[in-house]
Structure 1
Amino acid sequence: MRVISFNANGIRSAARKGFFDWLSEQNADFVCIQETKAQADQLTDPEFCPAGYTCQYVSAEKKGYSGVAIYARRSPDAIITQLGLPEFDAEGRYCAFEYPDLMVASLYLPSGSAGDHRQESKDRFLAAYLPILESYLQKQHKPLILCGDWNIAHKEIDLKNWKSNQKNSGFLPHERAWLDELFDRLGFVDAHRLVAPGEAVYTWWSNRANAWENNVGWRIDYQIITPDLADRVERATVYRDMKFSDHAPLIIDYRS
């Protein structure tokens, strides 16, 4: 089973850069998109729902902002488009496909880099979302793959210039501690690190100072899974041969 997670920074922009041509060759079972930046009436071209997939877009109320999507080979039994958090549901930050034996979700966490007001929003999300994940573990008995742009680099290995970013959103101590709690206390697993524990690999690059060309990046895109999927993670790849966005697609293959 192949699962791709990708922050498109505008799905229409990524399409113009060849994303869907590339995707047609990937044989993906699930594709989770973040930051679609589009409304339903802007996605009527068949290109935005590739042949053979069930597609669901969740748009933000604010035009040109946020938004997530999932494409799936298997038609889901249920589609969930809200977390029950009005502030963030209005921003189109969550979509999940539910099956009898699996849940796959596309998640776009707020960024705090635009200023204190956005960091405060991000912190509210972190505070509200952890109990939701804890409740899922307590009440659900099916595996979960949470694909997304988490906007947090977890460890020093996860960004090139970690020393100079310790006071910047995305690498703040309390954000990193939040991921510690997610992994260490709740038991969720960073699927990429299972197969590449010591690899300095990134998924996002600033548009400044030739960061992409010099590979001065951050690893902030993850597939975070319930522990019952850990032994099924086979390989992880970050695709950089073509540039569709300021993020690169994260591809993880799971054993059947």
Structure 2
Amino acid sequence: MRIITLNTNGIRSAATKGVFDWLRRQQADVVCLQETKAQEGQLADAMFRPDGHHCLYRDASNKKGYSGVAIYTRREPDQVLTELGWDAFDNEGRYLEARFGKLSVVSLYFPSGSSGDERQQFKFKAMEWITPIFDAWLNSGRDYVICGDWNIVHTRNDIKNWSSNQKNSGCLPEERAWLDLLFNQRGWVDSFRAIKPDAVEYTWWSNRGRARENNVGWRIDYQVVSPSLRERLKACSIYRDERFSDHAPYTVDYAD
């Protein structure tokens, strides 16, 4: 089973840069997209409905052209969920879950706090609010793959400029401590680190300066999996050869 996650920073923009041609060649079973920045009605073109896929969208309902997540899947889901129960989060189009038997694949776009203190406080509140939901998922007996842009780096190897970013959203000690809680105490598995414990690779680069060219990046896109899936992790890769957005696609292969 192959799963790909990508923050498109505008699905229509990414489409013009060839993302759907690339995805077609990957033969993924499930593709999770974030920050689609579109309403489903704006995606009538056939390119947004890849042949042989079931296409699921959860748009922001409170602000057009903002946020939004999607899932493309070869197999028809048994169930599709679009809300977690907090309107402020749900209405921004940040969560979409497809269920296949006992497997759940989630496309999650976690808030960024980089625009100012108000959004950072919203991010902190979201971290606190979603933690018991993650706990419930762990205790549900289901297998979870949580794909998406979490907008947080975890360790020094996940960001080029560690020291200078300690006071910046996405690398704040409180944010990284939350990932410590999820990974080290609750038992969630960062698939990339499970497969490549010491690798230094990034999934996002600022559009400022020559960050991508100089590989001044952050690893903030994840496939976080239930402990039950750890032994099924086979391989992973971050694709940088083409530039579809300011993020790079992250692919994980799972044993069947």
Using the size of structure 1 for normalisation, the TM-score is 0.99
- Partner AA of 1:171 in structure 2: C
| TM-superposition CA deviations, 1:53-96 (whole Å, max 9, x none) | 11101000201100000001110010001111110101000000
Aligned residue number for residue 118 of structure 1? 119
Aligned residue number for residue 169 of structure 1? 169
Matched, 1:247 2:229: no
**Retained in 1: the 8 A contact 2:14–2:245?**
yes
Moved over 6 A (4+): none
Q: Structure 2, unaligned stretches of length 5 or more?
A: none
Aligned residue number for residue 179 of structure 1? 179
Q: Does the residue aligned with 1:181 lie in a helix, a strand or coil?
A: helix
Using the size of structure 2 for normalisation, the TM-score is 0.99
Distance 1:204 1:249 in 2: 10
- Partner AA of 2:144 in structure 1: L
Aligned residue number for residue 220 of structure 1? 220
CA apart distance, 1:185: 1.6
Q: Does the residue aligned with 2:97 lie in a helix, a strand or coil?
A: strand
Aligned residue number for residue 66 of structure 2? 65
**Retained in 1: the 8 A contact 2:187–2:226?**
yes
Aligned residue number for residue 34 of structure 2? 34
Aligned residue number for residue 84 of structure 1? 85
Distance 1:35 1:107 in 2: 10
Aligned residue number for residue 6 of structure 1? 6
CA apart distance, 1:6: 0.1
| TM-superposition CA deviations, 1:112-153 (whole Å, max 9, x none) | 000000101111110100010111222x11210000000000
- Partner AA of 1:57 in structure 2: Y
- 1:191-206 to structure 2, matched below 5 A, reads 191-206=191-206
- Partner AA of 2:137 in structure 1: Y
| Overall identity of the aligned pairs, in % | 56
Aligned residue number for residue 94 of structure 1? 95
Q: Does the residue aligned with 2:106 lie in a helix, a strand or coil?
A: strand
CA apart distance, 1:215: 0.6
| TM-superposition CA deviations, 1:196-219 (whole Å, max 9, x none) | 110100000000111011111000
CA apart distance, 1:16: 0.2
| TM-superposition CA deviations, 1:136-179 (whole Å, max 9, x none) | 222x1121000000000000110000110000000000000000
- Partner AA of 2:101 in structure 1: P
Distance 1:170 1:125 in 2: 14
- Size of the aligned set, in residue pairs, is 255
CA apart distance, 1:101: 2.6
Distance 1:100 1:237 in 2: 26
Q: Does the residue aligned with 1:214 lie in a helix, a strand or coil?
A: coil
Aligned residue number for residue 211 of structure 1? 211
Distance 2:241 2:211 in 1: 15
**Retained in 1: the 8 A contact 2:203–2:220?**
yes
- Partner AA of 1:232 in structure 2: R
Distance 1:70 1:35 in 2: 12
Distance 1:196 1:122 in 2: 28
Q: CA RMSD in A?
A: 0.6
Matched, 1:142 2:142: yes
- Partner AA of 1:115 in structure 2: G
Aligned residue number for residue 235 of structure 1? 235
Distance 1:78 1:163 in 2: 44
**Retained in 1: the 8 A contact 2:137–2:144?**
no
